[in-house]
Amino acid sequence: MKNLALLACLFVCFQSGTSIRCYECNSKNNTMCLDPSLYDKETVNKFLISTDCQKGVFSPHQKDFFCRKIIQTILHKNHDSEVRVTRGCGWVRHHKDCYKADTEDHLETVCQCFNDECNGASALAFSAAVMALSVLILRF
């Protein structure tokens, strides 16, 4: 039984390592994208798309995908600024997990993370639970 539990745990970890799932949305057309942590898990699952980053990419080279969240403040000259959040997959990593950039017409903060659906709210808790379960199984 212990070996079966260990195998199942390793399978879950292996699956999440070979392909990552990320939320994919833009707050311009889905206000839930601004902050999914305000909603319960059922609502998030119903209204936010979670994408397998590896699917749909036709490339001879396997890319090392990760999840990304971009918060943009768009500066309009004649009216109030607008905040927009975009979540999705990325494949060109930055040397910092989060960084800021600004131009004449917008400010942005870009953050990258490396676990399934980590560009939302509750995925970090799930990843920590899987890791804790793995450690417990390996100890016994």
CB distance 67 to 73 below 8 Å? no
User: What CA–CA distance (Å, rounded) separates 108 from 130?
Assistant: 32
More confident residue, 24 or 2: 24
pLDDT in tens, 40-89: 999 999 999 999 998 855 555 567 899 999 999 999 888 899 999 999 99
CB distance 112 to 93 below 8 Å? yes
User: What CA–CA distance (Å, rounded) separates 120 from 69?
Assistant: 8
Q: How confident is the model at residue 15 (pLDDT cuts 50, 70, 90)?
A: very low
Q: How confident is the model at residue 8 (pLDDT cuts 50, 70, 90)?
A: very low
- 50: β partners: 23
Percent of the chain's residues with pLDDT above 90: 54
User: What CA–CA distance (Å, rounded) separates 140 from 136?
Assistant: 7
Has residue 23 got a pLDDT over 80? yes
How many other CB atoms are found less than 10 A from the CB of residue 89?
21
Q: What is the pLDDT of residue 133?
A: 40
pLDDT in tens, 58-72: 555 567 899 999 999
Q: What is the pLDDT of residue 10?
A: 42
Structural domains present in the chain: 2-53+63-139 (2.10.60.10)
